[in-house]
């Protein structure tokens, strides 16, 4: 990165780590609760009944309580992005216009979070069903299968949920940021990436890139999971 910003700013430009932490702190325990309840369940040998139990328990322990968590986390992230953009606009010496109508955008983001989480639980259920079927054929004990199930929930469910939290928090923050810039009259945005050893080569290559709203949206739509990059308002420099 060749531009000059403070090290503190570059570690977390939009100040999103706390938001991500709060979202994760509420979402991940749902998977742990599911794993504990699966360990207590009498699996039996009726695979159809076991499959129905898995689906019902995922709905009860994860998907249903996650709904209210998502409904709170996504608007918070969007408004956070809006406030961050307002600060950046003021630093650019221009007036910042607060958010007005934004619920339609947030509703779409909420729907995406819900859909992504459903995809995660579907994969968890698929792998657990396979583990139980294989375990019954191999004559494994319920205790052995419970340990394997706990590993699936941690390695697939919790891991992917954490990645979803990071990705979707930034998506909502960046939506709020870009909307605020547009209201402030900015037509060009400048990409800024986190400056540490976890930043990938692609993100480094687009750091400092000047984009229209359409181009910025395309970048945010195609970026890799867990990307931490955000946007600054671009002020054209006058020729000397």
CA distance 136 to 47: 9
* Predicted local distance difference test score (pLDDT) of residue 60: 98
Q: What are the boundaries of each domain within the chain?
A: 15-184
Residues with pLDDT less than 50, the chain: 1-2, 238-240
Instruction: Look at residue 193 and give its three-state secondary structure.
Output: coil
b/e per residue, 50-80, with b = 16+ CB within 10 A? bbebbeebbeebbbeebeebbeebbbbbbbb
CA distance 18 to 219: 24
The packing angle between helices 142-152 and 103-138, to 10°, is 150
* Predicted local distance difference test score (pLDDT) of residue 2: 46
* Predicted local distance difference test score (pLDDT) of residue 43: 77
**CA neighbours within 13 Å on the CB side: how many for 19?**
26
* Predicted local distance difference test score (pLDDT) of residue 1: 44
* Predicted local distance difference test score (pLDDT) of residue 95: 64
Can you give the pTM of this predicted structure? 0.90
* Predicted local distance difference test score (pLDDT) of residue 100: 58
b/e per residue, 84-98, with b = 16+ CB within 10 A? bbbebbeeeeeebbe
* Predicted local distance difference test score (pLDDT) of residue 25: 98
In angstroms, what is the C-alpha Rg of the chain? 22
* Predicted local distance difference test score (pLDDT) of residue 62: 98
One-character DSSP codes across 72-119: HHHHHHHHHHHHHHHHHHHHTTSPPPPP-S-HHHHHHHHHHHHHHHHH
CA distance 133 to 127: 10
CA distance 227 to 168: 10
For residue 145, count other CB atoms closer than 10 A to its CB.
Answer: 20
């Amino acid at each position: 990165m060749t531009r000059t910003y403070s090290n503190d700013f570059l570690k977390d430009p939009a100040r999103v780590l706390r938001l991500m932490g709060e979202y994760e702190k509420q979402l991940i325990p749902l998977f742990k609760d599911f794993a504990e309840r699966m360990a207590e369940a009498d699996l039996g040998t009726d695979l159809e009944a076991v499959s129905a139990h898995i689906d019902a328990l995922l709905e009860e322990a994860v998907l249903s309580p996650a709904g209210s968590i998502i409904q709170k986390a996504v608007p918070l992230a969007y408004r956070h992005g809006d406030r961050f953009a307002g600060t950046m606009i003021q630093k650019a010496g221009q007036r910042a216009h607060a958010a007005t109508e934004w619920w339609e955008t947030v509703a779409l983001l909420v729907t995406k979070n819900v859909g992504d989480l459903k995809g995660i639980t579907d994969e968890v259920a698929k792998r657990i069903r396979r583990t139980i079927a294989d375990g019954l054929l191999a004559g494994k004990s319920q205790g052995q299968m419970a340990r394997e199930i706990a590993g699936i929930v941690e390695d697939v469910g919790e891991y992917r949920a954490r990645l979803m939290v990071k990705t979707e928090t930034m998506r909502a923050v960046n939506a709020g940021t870009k909307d605020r810039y547009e209201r402030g009259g900015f037509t060009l945005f400048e990409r800024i990436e986190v400056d540490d050893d976890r930043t990938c080569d692609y993100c480094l290559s687009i750091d400092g890139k000047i984009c229209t709203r359409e181009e910025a949206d395309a970048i945010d739509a195609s970026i890799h999971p867990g990307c931490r990059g955000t946007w600054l308002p671009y002020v054209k420099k006058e020729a000397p």
